[in-house]
Every structure is written in C-alpha cells, then in structure tokens.
Amino acid sequence: MAEYQYQTRILVAVDCILFGFDGEQIQLLLIKRGFEPMKHQWSLMGGFVQPDESTDDAANRILKQLTGLEGIYLEQLHTFSSPDRDPIERTVSIAYFALIDIKQYQQQLTDQFQAAWFPMQDIPTLIFDHEQMVKMARQRLRYKAASHPVLFELLPQKFTLPVLQHLFEDVYDTQFDKGNFSRKMLSTGLLLKQTDKDKGSSKKGAFYYKLDKKNYKKNFHQLLRIVPNAHELI
C-alpha cells in the first residue's frame, strides 16, 4: 500500500485538564513532570498513546498512573497539533477535561508526581502549550455550566443562593450583583425553595434551595440569561 508506506508516523499524546470544586472555589490539578525535557516543572497529566488503546483509554490510564484518580468521565476537548508544541519531537496531543467534587476523590489522590490543586488565579507557569489547553477547557466549562446542571451537581443536595452565586462567579470569573443574580436565578424556574435556612453565614439566615430536576430539561436554557456574554459561549 504505497499511500501508507511513505507516510511519517507521529508521536500521539493525551493531556488531562482536571478541575475540582472544594465547596468554595474551582481549582486545577497539576503534577510535576517526571521526565526530560522540563522534568519537575508543573504540567498537566499527560503521556503517550500506546498501539492497542484509544485516546479515551490512554487518558484514563495516564490519569490513574500519575495521580491515582480513576472512575472520572473525561470529555475530549480538542486536539493540539502545532508542529512546534513539543521541542523534542513533533507530537500531536488530544486534550481531555473533567470537573469533579474534590472531596469525593481526595482519598484516591497519590503523591508520586506531587499532584496538587491550584486555584484558577494562582496557576504556575506550565510546560509547552498547556496554558492554552487550560484556557480552552475553562471556556468549555463556562459553556457547559450555562446549559447543563454540571455546577449544581457539584454542590450539596441543598444550597443557598450566596453559595450558588460564588460558584458561578468562580466559573465565569466575574462579579454578579447579589440582587440581580438572585432575581434572575429564581426566575429560571430551576430552583425549589426549601423551608429551612442556613443560619451560619448571617443572622438573618439564607434559605436553602434544591435543583428542580423534573423541570430541568424545560428550563435549562434560562441559565443563558444569567451568564455573561452567553452568545460568545455557544
């Protein structure tokens, strides 16, 4: 097969962008790279795809090998293929991302490659084009959060509006007016007001709410009225 015979075979890698919510803010998981070049520099979890596995399987295998984490649904984000992205040899990398509840997975996390969580505003310099990958993953997260209950799934079963607002502010890197956010969120029809209050943060207390899962499909697009620059997300 002549057409195949003369082709250049290329290194194929995967890189994993893992966001975690700790109850207050969204963080990014990084490791210290285990081989040259740039050994010991902060990096996404990445590695090379083996002959007998898909990129999906490689991403899961590599995440487990480097951090101990498993059972996480990794979504394919984008393939990065700039010929110069890896200074040693031309490498094409398929990036994957996920958003998890840190508390749920903290026990699995190993220290072999010094895996650590970094707040989004305090991300260190990363190798290669990993910062570009993180940037794209953040944008994808914003789009998903505007149309899926993904953020609600991270919060406890019941939550207050201030907590919900803080999470949206973290994801969209913005400040909402408190009254505006509450009013708009309540008008989406997505929330079920509970009878009890959280008296911890203020004397008056804040009512608990739950996600109305029955009506989610009908009303999810209302979230697009709340998030900033929604038309740029989708």
Q: What are the φ and ψ backbone dihedral angles of 48, each rounded to 5 degrees?
A: -95, 145
Query: Contact, 99 vs 141, CB < 8 A?
Result: yes
Q: Does 214 bind a copy of itself (CB under 8 A)?
A: no
Q: Are 165 and 181 in contact (CB under 8 A)?
A: yes
230 binds a copy of itself (CB under 8 A): yes
Footprint of a copy of itself on residues 83-142 (CB under 8 A)? Answer: 83, 88-90, 92, 94
As measured in angstroms, the least distance from the Cβ of 208 to a copy of itself is: 25
Please tell me whether residue 12 binds a copy of itself under the rule CB under 8 A.
Answer: yes
Check: CB of residue 193 under 8 Å from CB of residue 206: no
Q: Per rule CB under 8 A, is residue 234 in the interface with a copy of itself?
A: yes
Sign of the C-alpha dihedral computed for residues 220, 119, 126 and 51 taken in this order = negative
* Interaction of residue 217 with a copy of itself, rule CB under 8 A: yes
CB nearer a copy of itself, residue 36 or residue 122: 36
Cα–Cα distance for residue pair 204/231, rounded to 1 Å: 37
Per-residue contact track with a copy of itself, 143 to 162, x per CB under 8 A?
A: ----xx--------------
Pairing between β-strand 75-80 and β-strand 45-48 as defined by DSSP bridges: unpaired
Where b means 16+ CB within 10 Å and e means fewer, 192-223 reads eeeeeebeeeeeeebebbbbbeeeeeeebeeb
Q: Which range touches a copy of itself (CB under 8 A), out of 34-42, 121-129, 178-186, 202-210?
A: 34-42
Please give the residue ranges that form the binding site for a copy of itself (CB under 8 A).
Answer: 1-4, 7-12, 34-37, 48-56, 76, 78-79, 81-83, 88-90, 92, 94, 147-148, 216-217, 220-221, 224-225, 230-231, 234
